[in-house]
Amino acid sequence: MKVTFLGVGSAFSQKHGNSNVLIESGDVKLLIDCSLACSSALRQYGLSLRDITHVCITHLHADHITGLEEIAFKTRLNYHTRLTLLSTQSLLDRLWNYSLRGGLEYIELNPGEEISQTLDDFFEVCPLAAQEWGSICGSPELKFSLRRTNHVKGMESYGLLVEESPGGLEKRFLFSGDTKFDPALIADGAKNASIIFHDCQLYDSGEHNINGVHASYQQLRQLDPDIRRRMWLYHYGDSDLPDAVGDGFAGFIQRLQSFTR
């Protein structure tokens, strides 16, 4: 299993690209989220949207989904195929009704021919139940479990525990997704994964980061040393980076950095 961070920046980062992750395992090339910059990041890496087989959506903020319309049009009209779209049924319903439907509902396959579309016309939709382990559709070796996160009150959002089997703990990692500082989620990752890729806001928005919707560097720095040494940080802004390695972390992930397990 190879994990590559196509982008590592926060929503408004100008330097680091939005956080998009590519997981490669056998014939599967799975994107975790898909921002507008994802297509160009893939080209830098040496692939194209045509190579992608699966996309998993963690939540509906624009920096995580705005590249999906390009994927939908290109796979449907240019490549004549459908890639697999993964998330919970409720999140997929909202993705279509509140984000994608406006641009994708009507297309003309022939001039003047109006055709009404649904999400299933563009993707092979594969709903997942949160917290349950399941195989990636089409790949029995690659499995993951959606972990609910506490990002923005009222918003459905997830992290992922991902495993390539057989392999156990050493081939399993936690991708936190966007989340406030959540000791329970981190403990889950520390128990069930060898590496934790964690959301990291560089600033603290007040006492105990009370107004933050992302875990702050200051909060994460208080974690147990054994957890910090297995934690890589991403989804950060354009400010100068602190010395993460000196503070006991594995480090800040750089754009196009890969991890192989």
What are the CA-CA distances from residue 223 to residues 90, 113, 181, 220 (Å)?
33, 59, 11, 6
Residue with tokens 């697999």: 84
3-class DSSP string for 116-134: ECCHHHHEEEEECCCCCCE
* Catalytically annotated residue among 79, 98, 106, 170: 106
Rounded-to-integer distance, Cα 24 and Cα 146, Å: 18
Cβ contact 16:60 at 8 Å: no
Active site residue 156: no
Would you tell me how many other CB atoms lie within 10 Å of the CB of residue 196? 26
Cβ contact 165:180 at 8 Å: no
With CA atoms as reference, report the closest residue to 33 among 67, 8, 3, 9.
67
* Catalytically annotated residue among 45, 69, 70, 124: 69
Active site residue 106: yes
Q: Which residues are catalytic?
A: 69, 106
